[in-house]
Structure 1
């Protein structure tokens, strides 16, 4: 069997990536296999889930998964990611959603060219601040506008919730050093990083190749998480700081968990990443190709698994 081929599947087992449930979250259960479905067994009974209908399986606290279940998930191209409660922490990832390298290659292509890297960065700012005209702005100008918008977001949410705001202060490694608002903002940031890391990895992208952040293994994760900072993370943080100042961290994580679920944010993150890396023209079929080729001259791609010596022109 060639490297890129999965075992043959029957028509009833197959499902387009676009038709799959993007993410299924499980916690406090045993995940096993029953024929072509995975099962989730807990105190209330056993639930059967057709594996080919899942894009990525998120395994939360208290889950155990069998070798047979992992074998089935691998055969159907389902990603597996170990996360915190309701996906608010990323711990480890099993594999990407698709065997196609299309998104990873698109990311590397955009990142490797200085012009396209800047264009993706501008697109990210357009998503964050749709009322801003960022055409033609330099990176320094983009950073300056971002700084002003984030400060305005802090100020407006402080006024909205009646919190006395003295500025953003965070000491790495010392969560309790900040006031309740700062603690809540830090907790919200951690949640968004966990969500973004899970999605980036599930799509097969590189967490390290960022377009705004740079030089860190999670640069692209930080880029994606910031897309939702002023819209979701900061407002929730101030709401919690105003209503539960003595429990800012845990309360923020729970509040964001619920908000993320209601907004179906995971699906939106998937669409945003695809749109950013493929200039808005993403196609699920183009990122779900189970095929291996070898590269030749002039961007030609030849079929893998064949000896190319006889009669080859490359």
Structure 2
């Protein structure tokens, strides 16, 4: 019999894989609740049902009222939540990793904590952006300069292609409305990309805060990861939407453009592949595997009652 609290919690193998999910869903001026294994969204038009295990990112805009039961379901199903404030200010929250494994997190912490391996991962990221060049001997300063020149060229190329005037990137967290239309569009596009990156990173069990290029922020690794895709997705879409719509609801139009670009799911498959490549993770990850750590004998079985051995037993 079903309990009064809704359907039982889904097992891991019942949840949709991150690359099979809808990329993101934006809501505003609505009440979000839960019915069984679905998130319900109610506004003046009625109620819609959202399968919780089939959405990567839920973007909650102004006027959203969400219940504790809805957040419980969202957390259990590994859906990322982005609270989207006015004027472009955003806060992030998320649920547990989908695979319930700490392998990605342990590997990420290991790589970022060693200077040599941290630089190696950073170079991997830059090599992905410069596939025809060898960056293996470049310093971080050289790589930053090279990347800065690449991004400037992307902006200028898109400006020429779309006819949208470009001067420089400007973004004021506390005054979104004062920006130019293209800068508003870039902010909205990047935030949608950050949200999708966050959902993939968290779903696979890595940490948003352990960055290899960016550091000191709880989303440092998200900024690292998103930089791999801006030239292909958020920058051209921002220029395209600005060329078509000017300053007319540009943030909304840009989010729709990003949604359409994400719709075929190819970026999700690519993100999962890229994250595994960057962290040198293979595919033989066992869900819900837990062990006890031992400094001499390696991993030991979990859920076993161990007994203390006396000195005589130790000697034998």
TMscore range, shorter length: 0.7 to 0.9
Over 3 Å counting, the alpha-carbon distance change for 1:70 and 1:239 in structure 2 is same
1:32 pairs with 1, 16, 35, which one? 35
TM-fit CA distance, 1:137 = 1.0
Over 3 Å counting, the alpha-carbon distance change for 1:30 and 1:161 in structure 2 is same
Q: Match of 2:21, SS?
A: strand
Is 2:212 the counterpart of 1:211? yes
Is 2:119 the counterpart of 1:118? yes
Over 3 Å counting, the alpha-carbon distance change for 1:145 and 1:84 in structure 2 is same
| TM norm structure 1 | 0.76
Q: Match of 1:122, SS?
A: helix
Alpha carbon RMSD of aligned pairs, Å? 3.5
Q: Which stretch shows the higher mean deviation, 140-149 or 63-72?
A: 63-72
C-alpha distance in 1 between matches for 2:99 and 2:307: 27
Q: Which stretch shows the higher mean deviation, 169-178 or 214-223?
A: 169-178
TM-fit CA distance, 1:298 = 4.5
Structure-to-structure mapping, 1:202-281, within 5 angstroms: 202-247=203-248, 248-278=250-280, 281=281
Over 3 Å counting, the alpha-carbon distance change for 1:32 and 1:165 in structure 2 is same
C-alpha distance in 1 between matches for 2:68 and 2:273: 31
Query: For structure 1, which runs of at least 5 residues remain unmatched after alignment?
Result: 1-8
Equivalent position of 1:302 in the other structure = 300
C-alpha distance in 1 between matches for 2:258 and 2:190: 10
C-alpha distance in 1 between matches for 2:167 and 2:206: 38
C-alpha distance in 2 between matches for 1:167 and 1:72: 38
Q: Match of 1:262, SS?
A: coil
Equivalent position of 1:3 in the other structure = none
Contact 1:55 1:79 in 2 (8 A): no
Q: Which stretch shows the higher mean deviation, 189-198 or 289-298?
A: 289-298
Contact 2:39 2:70 in 1 (8 A): no
Q: Which stretch shows the higher mean deviation, 171-180 or 146-155?
A: 171-180
Contact 2:34 2:73 in 1 (8 A): no
| TM norm structure 2 | 0.76
Over 3 Å counting, the alpha-carbon distance change for 1:174 and 1:268 in structure 2 is same
Contact 2:104 2:204 in 1 (8 A): yes
Q: Match of 1:302, SS?
A: strand
Over 3 Å counting, the alpha-carbon distance change for 1:256 and 1:19 in structure 2 is closer
C-alpha distance in 2 between matches for 1:14 and 1:216: 30
Equivalent position of 2:282 in the other structure = 282
